[in-house]
Amino acid sequence: MPALDTRDHHTAITTLIDAAVAPWRCYGFGDVPGRKSLRGDALNPGTEPRQYVLLSVSRRSIPGAPRVTAVQSRSGWRADVRSVGGHRLEVQRLQFLIAQALEGAVLNIDAGESTPVAFETGEEPNADDGAVSALDSWTYTL
């Protein structure tokens, strides 16, 4: 049975990204200091960092796998990684550091080993709510 708890996947990927982008950090949506919390209208404590990364991890279908009701032994995953900065070069630098950390990485989650993480799609940095950001997607199977 594959590891299905999204939080375990989020933790594994956050660990890789945090090490790559230090002193900046990777956050889940609603957890960025100084930004609106997902737990209400209040802002999270602290000041919004100049640069940071937002991570969302979700299950996906496995290309070529039969779609049947039987339980599959592997599960497909997508990590959407949004790099945020004050200007284009900051975002591009975050994207580069993240690519170095994730491309080909093998994740160990719940005693299972993933396929190498592969780049799926990305975008150029664009204006975003008073900052600049770009979204890159990465996929793997566990």
**Strand 26-28 to 52-60 pairing:** parallel
User: Tell me: the pLDDT tens digits for 20-35?
Assistant: 999 999 999 889 999 8
- What CATH class does 6-141 carry? alpha beta
Average pLDDT of span 109-123: 94
Whether the per-residue pLDDT at 136 is higher than 60: the answer is: yes
Got the DSSP string for 9-50? HHHHHHHHHHHHHTTS-EEETT-STTSB-TTSSSBPSS---S
pLDDT at residue number 42:
82
pTM of the model: 0.88
Domain boundaries, the chain: 6-141
Contact between residue 118 and residue 56 where contact means Cβ atoms under 8 Å apart: no
Whether the per-residue pLDDT at 3 is higher than 80: the answer is: no
Residues composing the chain: 142
